[in-house]
């Protein structure tokens, strides 16, 4: 029986949860915590947030070819799918936010389905990602996603289970639940948080924003997806700081 890509991704995430649980039985509080934070920043913040989210889905930056390859590769290692599949879901979400056509609206499909990625994809049209489908780098990682992912996992496994868990499983599990919280808690009206833009979808949360390194400024994001999330000095947006550094280094430019 041939498994669908969606099922394969869910099994991949489940595998990383199991590896992390096994690892926790032998966990020692030492440099592991620091390495885990570094791996999260590299894979989730650089790869997914700067790469998949800001660069690919919203075209906030124009990178050099080398940076585009590196960011796309790192994003793939978060275990949330290829750049094309991520952008398709995310652009559909913004097109139909908080309606019955939104792929992951908790008020329409429920909190559990939203958090655990059992989404409504009926309105996800290929026309949303024509620009991505024609890009050679994005096409390569879309076509070879599982080969790239498991080749990297096996490479880290050669250095031991703990190395693979720290640099692959922990970022994957963190990304899964962080985005689950953004997609649910960031779209449940009146549950928590605040709005800078009253008529715009999504809410902001100071506490969750700290835990997500800047991704729970969701009301700000929906107000203008092509800009960085923070609108006030008190609002932390780690991706904004990373992009500013990359622009300073001359490896990308802003589009707006």
Q: What is the pLDDT of residue 13?
A: 95
Distance CA 90, CA 94 (A): 6
Q: For 164-211, how does the pLDDT look when each residue is reduced to its tens digit (9 = 90+)?
A: 999 999 999 999 999 999 999 999 876 668 889 988 888 999 888 988
Q: Global pTM?
A: 0.93
Q: Sign of the CA dihedral 158, 163, 168, 169?
A: positive
Mean pLDDT by 10 residues, the chain (256 residues): 84 94 78 84 94 96 97 97 96 95 95 95 92 94 97 95 92 95 88 83 89 90 90 90 96 93
Q: Sign of the CA dihedral 118, 181, 177, 179?
A: positive
Q: What is the pLDDT of residue 190?
A: 65
DSSP letter for each residue of 192-250: S-B-SSTTSS--B-HHHHHHTTS--BHHHHHH-TTS-S--STTS--HHHHHHHHHHHHT
Q: What is the pLDDT of residue 37?
A: 86
- Contact between 179 and 9 under an 8 Å Cβ cutoff? The reply is no
Domain coordinates of the chain in residue numbers?
A: 5-254
Distance CA 69, CA 229 (A): 24
Q: What is the 3-state secondary structure (H, E, C) of 236-247?
A: CCHHHHHHHHHH
């Amino acid at each position: 029986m041939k498994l669908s890509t969606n099922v394969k991704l869910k099994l991949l995430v489940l595998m990383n949860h199991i590896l992390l649980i096994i690892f926790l039985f032998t966990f020692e509080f030492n440099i592991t915590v620091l390495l885990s934070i570094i791996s999260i920043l590299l894979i989730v913040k650089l790869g997914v947030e700067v790469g998949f989210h800001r660069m690919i889905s919203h075209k906030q930056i124009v990178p050099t070819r080398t940076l585009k390859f590196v960011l796309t590769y790192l994003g793939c290692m978060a275990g949330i799918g290829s750049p094309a599949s991520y952008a398709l879901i995310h652009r559909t979400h913004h097109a139909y936010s908080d309606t019955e056509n939104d792929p992951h609206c908790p008020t329409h499909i429920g909190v559990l389905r939203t958090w655990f990625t059992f989404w409504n994809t009926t309105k996800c049209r290929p026309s949303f990602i024509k620009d991505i489908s024609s890009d050679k780098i994005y096409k390569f990682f879309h076509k070879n996603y599982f080969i790239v992912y498991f080749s990297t996992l096996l490479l880290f496994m050669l250095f031991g289970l703990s190395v693979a868990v720290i640099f692959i499983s922990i970022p994957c599990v963190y990304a899964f639940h962080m985005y689950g919280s953004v997609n649910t808690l960031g779209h449940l009206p009146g549950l928590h948080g605040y709005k800078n833009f009253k008529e715009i979808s999504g809410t902001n949360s100071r506490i969750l924003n700290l835990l997500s390194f800047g991704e729970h400024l969701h009301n700000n994001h929906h107000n203008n997806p092509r800009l960085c999330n923070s609108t006030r000095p008190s609002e932390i947006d780690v991706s904004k700081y990373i992009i500013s550094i990359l622009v300073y280094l001359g490896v990308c430019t802003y589009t707006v």
